[in-house]
Amino acid sequence: MVCGMSRPVIGICTALERARWSVWDEQAVLLPRSYVSAVQRAGGLAVMLAPDAAAAEDPSQLLELIDGLVLAGGADIDPASYGQPAHPKTTHTVPERDAFEIALVREAIERDLPVLGICRGMQLINVACGGTLLQHLPERFGHHEHRRVVGSFDGADHDVELREGTLARRVVGEHRHGTKSHHHQGVDRLGEGLVVSGVSAMDGLPEAIELAGARFVLGVQWHPEADESSVVVGALVAAAEEAARGVPG
């Protein structure tokens, strides 16, 4: 996709939610501006990818248009997609979005296209690779520290410990990394080929996963787009540019 001085094209999957703006109140495809801004600051061209039933059946045409894929945060993933009944705290699922993003991730991995999953996006990578989720973390860990204030990153900072020799550690550049967190679910059984590359310093919950042997398939449970000093989104953009130019992974 990249030629000359063109920017790498980064597709960011959108939410599908009811929203209000101006005089309108209706279903909308939407994305917090922070994701777009993070891609743009890193030199990428951000393109929003709305759920598309035809692309869920065959994502090849869509993936031909982009150099890298970002899976944004948002609604709980429908547990039917990983073979479990819904927990009472699993709410507001959007199966249409889940099916679209799972198809994109699987095909992107086949193509060795760089992928970054953020929060829900990390969980989505795990599900796409055959893994499962813990549907309500307080039941396992006995605290609400991963989502202290619903709908806000206020007071949401906590540390993640990143493992030596992993992509996550190379990207972040330090062993202990301060993050902004907002989630009540997490990775349980790992999907095929995935490894845990970072854990919460609070309780050992997986907070970074990656696909062994891939050019760049990384999931982070925190929100780097909410931190202008974070280099995580920039690393995805750089990997996408290298892939588009044919630089070996």
Closest CA to 19 of 11, 8, 27: 27
Alpha-carbon span 201 to 138, nearest angstrom:
16
Residues belonging to the active site: 119, 223, 225
* DSSP string across 208-245: EEEETT-SSEEEESS-GGG-TT--HHHHHHHHHHHHHT
* DSSP string across 128-188: HTT--EES-HHHHHS--TTSSSTT--TT-EEEEEEPTTSHHHHHH-SSEEEEE---S-EE-
